[in-house]
Structure 1
Amino acid sequence: MPKHICLWSGPRNISTTLMYSFAQRKDTKVFDEPLYAHYLSKHPKAKQYHPEAEAILNTIEHDGNKVMKMLLHHSEKPIYFYKQMIHHLLDLDRKFMTKTINIILTRNPKEMLPSFDKVISNPHIDDVGYKLHVNLLNYFKNNTIEYVILDSKRVLLNPEEVLKKLCDAVDIPFYKTMLHWDKGARSEDGIWAKHWYSNIHNSTGFIPYKPKTEPFPNHLKPLLKECQPYYEQLLEEAL
């Protein structure tokens, strides 16, 4: 039976980097945000401010339950890796998660929020993932579903060590090929890539962690205060 891995990430994280990493495995096929159109079709306002919203809605299946059912029928490869965004779970039946390997990917909101605000200004708590991640964590615990939590900074500080731990946790072999890739876009990239993926397209591997030096924006401080307790809870269990 193939393994189906769902990476549940917040925005402006290293989710695309991890997708590129898993794409280097010969035993793995990757998918880029297959629930994006589902989210845009369910959220009352998201299509007004998400880049390429109309194109996404015109090219990707809207029914998220149908999408996940279809994906879980794939069996040509031993491993399938789905880069997913936590907010894309909006109004979705989560029963499929008993059949997937679930990874929560988080990032310090002090670093994530200013980055996200540059693309989508004045975000809300439900746009940035922290509360939704903890809700998902509680769902896993209440339904005895195994999970793994990754913190972006820890991954970037030592990609090989954390990837080895991750591969052990999900019971797959680690390959050093996961650490490097060719510069440029991938065929699996979503049509939104030009708005979000410039850094990964210019990379050939995990970009070393560098702390942000710019002052934290004043208008985001209330949201930071709201996000911080959720992030700290997630960090306690991260690899």
Structure 2
Amino acid sequence: MWSGPRNISTAMMYSFGNRPDCVAWDEPFYAFSLVHHGNDHPMRDEIIAADESDWDRLVARCTAPAARPVFYQKHMTHHMLRGWDRSWIRGLTNAFLIRAPERVLTSYTKKWSDVTLRDIGFVEQAEIFDMVADHLGSAPPVVDTDDILINPRATLTRLCEACGIPFDEAMLSWPSGPKPFDGVWAPHWYNAVWASTSFGAPPPEPPPLPAHLQKIADEARPYYERLRQYKL
């Protein structure tokens, strides 16, 4: 699953991770991105110390058989740095989780004020989508966060069908609190989803963004709209 941050990506991981036939992996390339891009993030040193940051070893694990039939990989698109071979992605079953950039930025800046277009992954998401679509000869599955929150059962059913797996009722709820597959960064970012036991109601329309954030949203909008036309 390819998304940027603050896209209910963790709730989606919890949804799939609650399936008895699924093993989940939280942001495999986070430490790699911190090491090779050098950006400053909360808990940066702890993440690098705890997680693998070697590209080849990460790719090998992403493409290897998992212990259960469904291997859910929660990928952040901006972790796929340019200059590194992304061709291995074609061997996965890929889906794309999108969200309006205004909503992403409103949520992101509640946790971390320093944000650029690159930090929210819209450009990289479109690049990966185009690569996968070219390989398949058709658009891969796309789901919009709003649709999941409005009707999780129907949207997840369509997503599972598109990915070639059966829908499971266990995907509609999960236990509250930390999960064994959470990344070490969870204490900073996951407090809201730890308090949840299911997908919440859609949030209200976000307030107008400050000018510097609206500029980023305007830059991200064409990439969002390009994928949105293919949503399930």
The TM-score by the shorter chain falls in which range? over 0.9
Q: Which amino acid aligns with 2:6?
A: R
Aligned counterpart for 1:93 among listed residues 73, 81, 85: 85
| Stretches (4+) displaced over 6 A | none
SS, match of residue 75 in structure 2:
strand
Contact kept? 1:154, 1:162, Cα under 8 Å? yes
Report the counterpart of residue 202 of structure 2 in structure 1: 209
- For normalisation by structure 2, the TM-score amounts to 0.93
Question: Aligned-pair RMSD on alpha carbons?
Answer: 1.5
Gaps of 5+ in 1: 1-6
Report the counterpart of residue 74 of structure 1 in structure 2: 65
Deviations 1:139-198 (A, max 9, x none): 123333762111111111100000000010011111111101111110111111111111
Report the counterpart of residue 128 of structure 2 in structure 1: 136
1:19 aligns with 2:9: no
Aligned positions of 1:22-101 closer than 5 A: 22-44=16-38, 46=39, 48=40, 50-90=41-81, 91-101=83-93
- For normalisation by structure 1, the TM-score amounts to 0.91
Contact kept? 1:65, 1:92, Cα under 8 Å? no
Aligned counterpart for 1:123 among listed residues 115, 120, 127: 115
Counterpart-to-counterpart distance in 2, 1:70 and 1:236: 32
Number of residue pairs matched?
A: 230
State the identity %.
36
Q: Which amino acid aligns with 1:207?
A: G
Gaps of 5+ in 2: none
SS, match of residue 84 in structure 1:
strand
Report the counterpart of residue 167 of structure 2 in structure 1: 174
Counterpart-to-counterpart distance in 2, 1:94 and 1:194: 30
Stretch moving more, 118-127 or 23-32: 118-127
Report the counterpart of residue 2 of structure 2 in structure 1: 8
Report the counterpart of residue 218 of structure 1 in structure 2: 211
Shift of residue 213, structure 1, vs aligned partner: 4.5
Counterpart-to-counterpart distance in 1, 2:67 and 2:49: 27
